[in-house]
Chains A and B, each alone.
Chain A
Amino acid sequence: MEEIIRLDNLSFCYPDGQAALNDISITIHQGESVAIIGANGAGKSTLLLHLNGILRSNGRVKVLGRTVEDKNLRWIRSRVGLVFQNPDDQLFSPTVFDDVAFAPINMGYCEDEVRQCVTTALERVGMAGYQSRSPHHLSVGEKKRVAIATVLSMSLQILVIDEPTSNLDPASKWSLIELLKGLPITKVIATHDLELAQALCRRVIVLDGGYIVADDAADRILDNKRLLAAHGLAPAEVA
């Protein structure tokens, strides 16, 4: 299988000295769906922000065979779709159309192509007909869907998504999971929702305090209650 993301001994400190990632090495192959699970503050979001060069530390990230560095950024960002944890950060335009069109316009597509991309992307997330709505008038579930559409409108190869199911009611959560299941691309999903990890991913990586503490097949990790409890992902009494 083709290697699609490769992190070698990645470490990262925020400017205020907070060490968020320590010695992370991961390899992800074409077509995999990987869940990155961990308690609050484990470093999941920080890790995802490295995958398209929003955060950079020491040049040890390779995406689609290219090192994440200035000259490759544009190329990489057009292939890695990063959906942020909070849809209010992701959706910054006055209308849904503008938001979904933002990426294709920046990729330099012509007007017809942009419209085409927007329509298809919104259809894929089941939000056709919402083009002229304002993001601030949408429900959380609708915002999450539009947020996904904003990256589907690019020519994606990797979907990187942060906490897709936080704040969703069970019905919206499961319909979102179905939606993600139907997308035939490589997925990296940060979450602390074990049901989501179970339903979508064959492989699970557990982070704690910026370290990888486990990286294995999903069922082996999700059935290991002791491991989960030790890292704040299951009730402690089970251990």
Chain B
Amino acid sequence: MKHSFLDHYSEGNSLIHRLDPRTKLITSLLFILAVTSTPPTKWPAFAIYFCLIAILLFLSRVPALYVLKRSLVIMPFVLLIAIFIPFFKEGEVAGSYNIWLWQVSVTYSGLQVLWNVVIKAWLSILSLILLTSTTKFTSLLKGLEQLKMPRVMVMVLSFMYRYLFVLVDEVMRMKQARDSRNFGKQQRMRTVANMIGTLFIRSYERGERVYAAMLARGFDGQMRTLDRLSFRKLDACFGTGFGLALILTNLLY
């Protein structure tokens, strides 16, 4: 079975796609830093951040609808955390309701925090979507490695990338096998629990076999790699340009 839900559209060839993954990683990180550290009252700054990211998305030629859909995926999580803030924050009351025995009131400052959390999360996720849909996962890993992220973590990520799909296939096969034998009856909790157990054991044993395959090719616990990324003028220009834009936005508004 084939999957590519992790780095869809990363095969493109736009200006953004051609940037060095390190440039993209660092600028994304800077962007998120800038967004999260901007005080909620500076709303024009957020407008500018949005414009910046929109321009880059446009340049990357990743379909807008796809980006929008993906960015909405995190909203439930953000809302789940942030939705209660307006009720608990102290301050001027914007509205007050009686729900059964409870007296609930919403404050203006609370609403502002809610809005602020949502917009910051959304802008950050947009930048990450831009990053992942213009960079192949493998180059991303190389980038992380060369930015001196600990080797072990890069290895873990790369195994995740490699075996996620194998695991998904395994789950699908197990599901098919189960469904073809349970004759339309309700699924039982026990079957599901057994499947999870089996999956765990299978993954564990696969881990052992993969490790054996690594040993067989001279692995001795030390991780070695080749350098093969190129940091070009384009990257330098993009990096400084984008960094300046962020700093100016932060200072001016």
Contact = CB atoms under 8 A, between A and B. Distances in A.
Interface of A: 49, 52, 54, 74, 77-78, 81-82, 84, 86, 88-95, 98, 101-103, 105-108, 111, 114, 132, 134-137, 150-151, 154
A111 B226 contact: yes
A91 B163 CA distance: 10
B217 interface: yes
Contacts of B212: 49, 54, 84, 89
**Interface class of chain B by DSSP:** helix
B93 interface: no
Given A135-B162, A136-B162, 11 more contacts: A81-B216, A94-B161, A94-B162, A102-B214, A102-B217, A105-B224, A106-B217, A111-B227, A114-B226, A132-B138, A134-B138
A77 B218 CA distance: 6
Contacts of B227: 111
A82 B217 CA distance: 8
Contact of B226 (A49, A101, A103, A151): A101
B158 A94 contact: yes
Interface of B: 2-4, 137-138, 141, 158-159, 161-163, 165-166, 206, 209-210, 212-220, 224-227
A52 B210 CA distance: 15
A238 B138 CA distance: 53
From A89, A98, A107, residue with most partner B Cβ within 10 Å: A89
From A86, A91, A93, A151, residue with most partner B Cβ within 10 Å: A93
A106 B158 contact: no
Nearest to B218: A106
25 contacts: A54-B215, A74-B218, A74-B220, A77-B215, A82-B213, A89-B212, A90-B213, A92-B210, A92-B214, A93-B158, A94-B138, A94-B162, A102-B219, A103-B217, A105-B224, A105-B226, A106-B218, A106-B219, A106-B224, A107-B218, A111-B226, A114-B226, A136-B3, A136-B162, A137-B4
A92 B217 CA distance: 12
Nearest to B164: A136
A86 B163 CA distance: 13
A61 B222 CA distance: 26
A135 B4 CA distance: 13
Contacts of A135: 162
Contacts of B219: 102, 106
Which 3 A-B residue pairings sit nearest by Cβ, starting from the closest?
A: A106-B218, A103-B217, A89-B209
A92 B210 CA distance: 7
B209 A86 contact: yes
Contacts of B4: 137
Contacts of B141: 94
A92 B159 contact: yes
A74 B218 CA distance: 6
Contacts of B226: 101, 105, 111, 114
A132 B141 CA distance: 14
A68 to B, nearest CB: 12
B226 to A, nearest CB: 5
A50 to B, nearest CB: 12
A89 B2 contact: no
A78 B161 CA distance: 27
A151 B215 CA distance: 12
Nearest to B157: A94
A93 to B, nearest CB: 7
Contacts of A94: 137-138, 141, 158, 161-162
Contacts of B158: 93-94
A98 B155 CA distance: 12
Contacts of A54: 212, 215-216
Contacts of B216: 52, 54, 77, 81-82, 84, 151
B165 A84 contact: no
Contacts of B220: 74, 106
Contacts of A88: 166, 206
B218 A95 contact: no
A92 B162 contact: yes
Contacts of A90: 213
B209 to A, nearest CB: 4
A113 to B, nearest CB: 11
